[in-house]
Structures are given as structure tokens and as C-alpha cells.
Amino acid sequence: MSGAVPWNEARAQEIIDAHLGLEGPALPILHAIQEEFGYVPEAAVPQIAQSLNISRAEMHGVVSFYHDFRRAPAGRHVLKLCRAESCQSMGSEKIAKDFLERVKLEWGGTANDGSLTVEAVYCLGLCAHSPGALYDNEPIGRVDAEMLDELAAEARNS
């Protein structure tokens, strides 16, 4: 999953500058920062805020409001499990809870070996194939315990 590069303030400023001309540049900047570094480093928040002429608190509010923005680097693989209504009606909460217990993680947590990060997501548009998931941005439908265990094993072995 991660082809991210280490934090670099100069590179971050290049990314910010490349997006400043957009209407409503905050989200495109944050997405680009996360794409480059694998997360939105704390050091990026005041830098982006200053460039957008908004307060750090406002920028922090944006970053923390959208749960897709990571505050720490993700594992080599990212598994997003849908927690929206359709998936809940098909047992996703129990499947996820049991899986998290088996892999000894909490939502948003990364395995100690850095192999897997498990995140919650709220609707992947896979409602007809609930419960749904994304594994390294690949959609997966009709997720069950066995499938999740296979993905965790694949993550550990890659």
C-alpha cells in the first residue's frame, strides 16, 4: 500500500503551492499531502493553515473531521471495513468486532509488524454485496470471517 515518502517540509510546500489556485483548496491539499507522505503529519497543519490564511485550529478541524485523513502512517496494507447501515444489517459489526479481536487491533490501529491497518468506512457503495470492504483500495463484497483472516495472513506474508 505505502509508497509514501518521509515528511519533507519543502515538498509539502510544493504540493500546497500547486493547489492554491483551486477553489476550496484545503481538501485537495490534504489529499495530496496524504498521497505523498501516507498521512497528514502534524507539522503540515500549521503550514497549510498559513498558506490558506486560516487558523491552525480551523485546519485541525478540517483534518480531524474527515476520518479518511490519517494522523500517523498506515501499515503496508490497509483494510477498510464498511460500517454503514446496509453492511450492519448483514452482520458487519460482529464480523468486524470478532476480526479486530483476532488480530488484536482497534479501529484505526496498525499491526505491530506494520503489515495491516484496519479502518472503518461509512458506505463503499457496495450495498448489494454487503458487508463490504476495501483492501488496498480494491473493493470486496460479501466479506466474512474467513475472508478477513485470509487478507490478514496475506498482509503479514507480503
Q: Which residues, 6+ apart, have CB-to-CB distance to 115 below 8 Å?
A: 75, 76, 77, 152, 155, 156, 158
The domain segmentation of the chain, as residue ranges, is 7-63, 75-155
What is the model's pLDDT at position 156? Answer: 95
In the predicted structure, residue 114 carries a pLDDT above the cut 80: yes
Mean pLDDT of the chain: 95
What is the model's pLDDT at position 85? Answer: 96
pTM: 0.79
Q: pLDDT per residue over 127-148, tens digit each?
A: 999 999 999 999 999 999 999 9
- The answer to whether 94 is annotated as binding is no
User: DSSP code of 20?
Assistant: T
Share of the chain above pLDDT 90, in %: 93
Burial class of residue 32 (count of CB atoms within 10 Å of its CB; 0-12, 13-18, 19+):
middle
CB of 17 closer than 8 Å to CB of 50: no
Average pLDDT estimate for 37-43: 94
- The answer to whether 157 is annotated as binding is no
Which band of pLDDT confidence, cut at 50, 70 and 90, is reported for residue 67? Answer: confident
Please give the CATH topology (third level) of the domain spanning 75-155: Glutaredoxin (3.40.30)
CA distance 55 to 61: 10
What is the model's pLDDT at position 3? Answer: 62
- The answer to whether 127 is annotated as binding is yes
- The answer to whether 82 is annotated as binding is yes
